[in-house]
Amino acid sequence: MSSKIKIAVILDQVISVGGGFQQAMNNVNTLLDMSSEKYQFIFFSVVKQDNNLVKPLLINPNFLEKISLFLRRFFLDKKLYKFLKLIRYFQKYNYFEKALIENNIDLVYFLSSNVLANDLEELNYIITVWDLAHLEHPEFPEVRFNREFEKRNNALKKVLPKATSIIVDSEMGRENVSNFFNIKKEKIHILNFSPASHLDGNTKKRSKAESDTIKKYNFNRPYIFYPAQFWSHKNHIYILEGLKILEKKYRINFSAIFTGTDKGNLGFVKEKTKSLKLAKRIVFPGFVSDSELRQYYIHSFALVMPTFFGPTNLPPLEAFKLGVPVLYPDLPGLRDQVGGAAILLDLSDPESLAKNLKLLYEDKNFKRNLIESGKKRLVEINHLNRQETLLLIFDNFALKLKTWKSP
């Protein structure tokens, strides 16, 4: 019997990252469900974290290995190939590629955009690009400060041309990668986002954590939900301004639950909450467990996600799955993701949020129809076969691999 082609799957995200981690785990699930006599998946992690799905091999470099990798990168960037050859004389492979080669890996699959892909001097790889927000919205601090723009762009310029295949989240993502980095579209494959598996089921039993939160903050009014890290591009301010308009103009009081970790903008959001006199109605539980997250969804009046970044995001799909209405930006790519199954918001006008919350609040039939549209939209997305896409990528590589390696 011929040996299988060994594919290394690189886990490089911690759970506190949020959507990026969940999408990586969705793709791990897809691989675990694949039955193939041709391919074997070996999971590696470059971060220390327990994983409930797989037990990855940890690649954990020591200090000298990190220094060696730094020197290889430095001489490569400066195109000082003679010095690079000298380093290779003493150490043929850097610590990362060495760990993979020792496990007889044929192909490397990065579940995110990782600069380590550029350190693979012999092994081929697949790279994932979930967004190019730094190019579409360079104004935000998180993609501008500390030369973050240059770090992201330079990394992508290096890793994308060498990739065997590139995975994106949508047709718009494919267009962006092709246009910004001059990559042939045939090399770019779409894997749509899908809701996390821990959201399965439909029980409305309240968790103790949620009950304690409601009791502590006296949540006797409907609340909107927004699970997002506190980056400026997540646009929590829009929700606060919309809720204030809803209160003053329409005499309707809503609360809000904002879960997520602070990425530098939480203090500003809290200051705005106080200045608008909304502090008693806005809850900041921080990072929450999967079970808590699910409960916050189920009991919410609606998901409101006024983010500037796309083209796709996980929360709308999670809300569709749990029967929660979705209010989402009327922006290119984002509107395509929800496909008419969400209320589209004008991010330049917070009254757009207030008016639509009022409509949802007063028209129960409209709300029910919106929920049903969300469920249908999720079915449409789930019909796209993720396994077929991955097998196509692997098969394309296998066809070429046999020209220099026997099975």
Task: Find the mean pLDDT for residues 314-332.
Answer: 94
Q: What is the pLDDT of residue 32?
A: 85
Task: Find the mean pLDDT for residues 114-122.
Answer: 89
Give phi and psi for 225, each to the nearest 5: -120, 140
Provide the β-strand partners of residue 266.
Answer: none
Instruction: With beta carbons less than 8 A apart as the criterion, state whether 142 and 231 touch.
Output: yes
- Looking at every residue in the chain, the average pLDDT score rounds to 87
Chain mean position to CA 267: 24
More confident residue, 65 or 370: 370
pLDDT over 70 at 216, yes or no? no
Instruction: With beta carbons less than 8 A apart as the criterion, state whether 256 and 282 touch.
Output: yes
Cα dist from 147 to 114, 125, 151, whole Å: 17, 27, 6
Q: What is the pLDDT of residue 81?
A: 61
Instruction: With beta carbons less than 8 A apart as the criterion, state whether 99 and 44 touch.
Output: yes
Angstrom distance (rounded) from CA 58 to CA 51: 12
What the chain holds in terms of domains, given with CATH numbers, is 5-192+384-401 (3.40.50.2000), 197-382 (3.40.50.2000)
Lowest mean pLDDT among 131-145, 194-208, 230-244, 257-271: 194-208
pLDDT over 50 at 1, yes or no? no
Query: Do the strands 39-45 and 57-58 form a parallel or antiparallel pair, or are they unpaired?
Result: parallel
Q: Is 141 exposed, middle or buried (0-12, 13-18, 19+ CB in 10 A)?
A: middle
More confident residue, 302 or 78: 302
The winner for highest mean pLDDT among 227-241, 308-322, 384-398 is 227-241
Q: Please identify which residue in the block is written with the tokens 């930006």.
A: 329
How does 386-402 read in b/e, with b if 16+ C-beta sit within 10 Å? beebbbebbeebbeebe
pLDDT tier for residue 213 given thresholds of 50, 70 and 90: low
Angstrom distance (rounded) from CA 143 to CA 70: 24
Task: Find the mean pLDDT for residues 143-164.
Answer: 91
Lowest mean pLDDT among 39-53, 149-163, 310-324, 363-377: 39-53
Angstrom distance (rounded) from CA 52 to CA 342: 33
Record the tokens describing residue 305, joined without a space.
Answer: 């996600």
* pLDDT tens track for 189-206: 998 877 766 666 545 555
pLDDT over 70 at 222, yes or no? yes
Instruction: With beta carbons less than 8 A apart as the criterion, state whether 195 and 163 touch.
Output: no
Please report which helix (H) or strand (E) contains residue 162, including its range: helix 148-162
* pLDDT tens track for 243-264: 999 999 999 999 999 999 999 9
Angstrom distance (rounded) from CA 407 to CA 294: 45
Q: Please identify which residue in the block is written with the tokens 């929450």.
A: 288
pLDDT over 90 at 357, yes or no? yes
Sequence-separated (6 or more) residues with CB below 8 Å from residue 28: 9, 11, 43, 53, 54, 111
pTM: 0.85
Lowest mean pLDDT among 30-39, 147-156, 185-194, 312-321: 30-39
